[in-house]
Structure 1
Amino acid sequence: MSFSNEVKNELARLENGKQCCEKAELFGLLRMSGAIILRGRNMGIHFSTENAALARRVLQLFKNNYDVKTEVVITRSRRLKKNNRYQVKVVPSPEAGKALEELQLLPAENEGGKASLLTTPCCRKSFLRGAFLAGGSISRPASDYHLEMVTENQDFAKMIMKTMQGFSLPVKITDRKNDYIVYLKEGNGITSFLSVIGAHNALLEFENVRIVKEMRNNVNRVVNCETANLNKVVQAAVQQLESIRYIEKHLGLGKLPLTLRETAELRLNHPDASLNELADLSEGKIGKSGINHRLKKIQHLAEELGMIKNE
């Protein structure tokens, strides 16, 4: 099961709230993915989904708030996965028409719906929950962070975005072919959105995976940094040893000043030691910077004697 379906199954099983919130959620659901049915002068509603829990929720929201006749038709999808598709239908009737009018789903009433159904924070949260249930998706937190809601209606996309901005969510909008996508691509924003719509179990799962992921990334960064530093130490030691052996062959270490000869012999005796370790091995006679300065002098002398420097 995808993470999107896990989130939607959790949301679809939430306890019903106040009547105003149920209507706001139904508004989001139907505005995102519902259709009006015409039969003579009467109007009905059609909602289709592959999620059985969501179909039950839509049906329950109608039964809780409107005296309408409903039908559920189950068909087999023709897609590759051949999942069941659940079609929730509100039979055309004068009562169904009144429900459409109250839910502000008739074209002439859409602007009024913004004011009358989404006046309180709890109703706006319910509206976002409905919009996500009908047209949203979210990537697993183990992959890239991405949550989106897709609609064909630009005005509705802007309405979703404005509502999300009211909860200080870093939401953005873009278009893709004939669709408009409202999306979040930042972990904190996604967890805040899951909290707003009531998906608290999904939020905990998302946060747990995100913490492990960030810890793993931090460990990898530290390991990579330490590996890079170790490579630099090894490469420097190799160059220092090559310089010392070149001087030993072409000049002789006995010809070096005492301080440089001591440092050269120290490096020869401890080829794998770091500068700090060489300083400790000198028994306090010289520090790390002094060791480094003397080794650079030795390398420079080797180059003067004719050694070709390895870049």
Structure 2
Amino acid sequence: MIRDTFSGRVKDELARRWPADQGALGWELTGLCLGCGSPLPGGGWRWRTESAATARLLVRLVRARYGVAPRLVVDRRGRLGRGNVYELWLDVLPTAEGADDRAAEAAPSGGRGGRAARRGQGAAGAAGGVVLPGLPDPGAGQRPRRRQDREAFLRGLFLGAGSLTGPGHGYHAEVVVPAAVASRVAAELRRWGLRPGRARRRGRVGLYLKEAEQIAELLGRLGAHQAVLALENHRVVKGVRNRVNRLVNAETANLRKAVDAGLRQVEAIRRLVDAVGWEGLPASLRPVARARLEHPAASLRDLGQMLEPPLSKSAVGHRIRRLQALAARYAER
């Protein structure tokens, strides 16, 4: 079910937010209309979503805007067995005038929310044809000018047609919109400093983000702060794990090099002892030669600590190189 996915949990969180005022409410409904809504041939409107939280929010938003509640139908089979699908129906389109009257009543006297809700929306639905009457319509050239309007608009789009891959499965956030408004939606995302890619999606356009920082910025702007924390926690854990892996790999590589070098030194010392015997070795080199044969994998520093008196790493290295040079000289003979 969608609720069990990271995308579903993000939508649950976003659906608990309520628009700042009637102007923002109109823009959030516009986003939902573009994301998961469609006009009916004989009049009316339908929304279709797999998110129960989105369906509940739609009922509240439509009732607050138009004074009517859409009829809810639940398809319990779902698509490909993924869970319920929720359809919300308005059998008769509400009027733009009724929406404007309710917006004026809900806004404080002289408040900006009332003016923003009414400005330029009287015929927007008829002009663009992709949103309910009385709503701002990007298809008719309108755009959200206030911060809360932009947040509400993009939140509605994500609730209606957004998806998000959870932490640990790669980073991908996408919202699928009608092609006619894709450029306008992309422009609103760029106003937040985001750089969405574009892809065709069955006659619509998918606007997507693939960078973790960009996705976290989007979720934070929309108001999904718990989701941002989940993403950041995963990034921190992943970063620590990668750092530990790099350190372990580096240590393993260094150990392998030390062991290989030790084995080459052992082979050289054995050839030299076979050629000249222990008594033929310079007295200053014998302790180091014996220590290396007994401890092929020890580091030069550890070899030095095994000697009496102890020697520094550089002193041990110098004696080992002398032994290898002598072995090479006798091998040439």
Please state which band the TM-score falls in when normalised by the shorter chain.
Answer: 0.7 to 0.9
Q: Deviations over 1:188-228 (max 9, x none)?
A: 22221111001112222222232222222221221121122
Q: State the alpha-carbon separation in 2 of the partners of residues 284 and 147 from structure 1.
A: 65
Q: Which residue does 1:223 correspond to in 2?
A: 248
CA shift for structure 1 position 24: 1.1
Answer yes or no: is the 8 Å Cα contact 1:38–1:92 preserved in 2. no
1:82-103: CA deviation from partner (whole Å, max 9, x where unpaired): 6222111222246179869446
CA distance in 2, matches of 1:297, 1:181: 69
Measured after TM superposition, the shift of residue 119 of structure 1 is 0.5
TM-score (norm: length of structure 1): 0.84
Match of 2:80 in 1: 80
What CA distance in whole angstroms lies between the structure 2 residues aligned with 1:176 and 1:129? 20
Aligned residue for 1:77, secondary structure, equals coil
Question: Secondary structure of 2:81's partner?
Answer: coil
Cα deviation, 1:122-141, whole Å, max 9, x if unaligned, reads 11111111111111111121
Instruction: Summarize the Cα distance change of 1:291–1:133 in structure 2 as closer, same or farther, 3 Å threshold.
Output: same
**What is the 5 A alignment of 1:1-311?**
1-39=4-42, 43-68=43-68, 70-77=70-77, 79-81=79-81, 83-93=83-93, 95=95, 101-102=123-124, 105-106=128-129, 110-115=138-143, 118-151=144-177, 153-175=178-200, 178-281=203-306, 287-306=312-331
- Please tell me the root mean square deviation across aligned C-alpha atoms, in Å: 2.9
Aligned-residue offset at 1:303: 4.1
Aligned to 1:205, the other structure's residue is in SS state helix
More strand by share: 1
Equivalent residues of 2:176, 2:207 under 8 A apart: yes
- Specify the SS of the correspondent of 1:80: helix
Residue type of the alignment partner of 2:150: R
The 1:283/1:190 distance shift into structure 2, 3 A limit, reads: farther
Distance (Å, rounded) in 1 between the aligned partners of 2:302 and 2:6: 51
Deviations 1:40-95 (A, max 9, x none): xxx42210112121111111111111244622222233533162221112222461
Task: Name the structure 1 match of 2:114.
Answer: none
Query: What does the per-residue CA deviation read over 1:133-186, in whole Å, with 9 as the maximum and x for residues that have no partner?
Result: 1111111212212212223x3343332322122112243333456453222222
5+ residue gaps, structure 1, are none
User: Offset at 1:37?
Assistant: 1.6
Shift of 1:284: 7.8
Q: Is the 8 A contact 1:244 1:264 kept in 2?
A: yes
- Name the CA shift for 1:82/1:122 in 2 (closer, same or farther; >3 Å): closer
1:293 Cα deviation (Å)?
4.0
Equivalences, count? 301
Which amino acid in 2 is paired with 1:264?
A: A
- Residues 33, 47 of structure 1: 8 Å contact kept: yes
Identity %, equivalent residues? 36
Greater CA deviation, 250-259 or 20-29? 250-259
SS in 2 for 1:38: coil
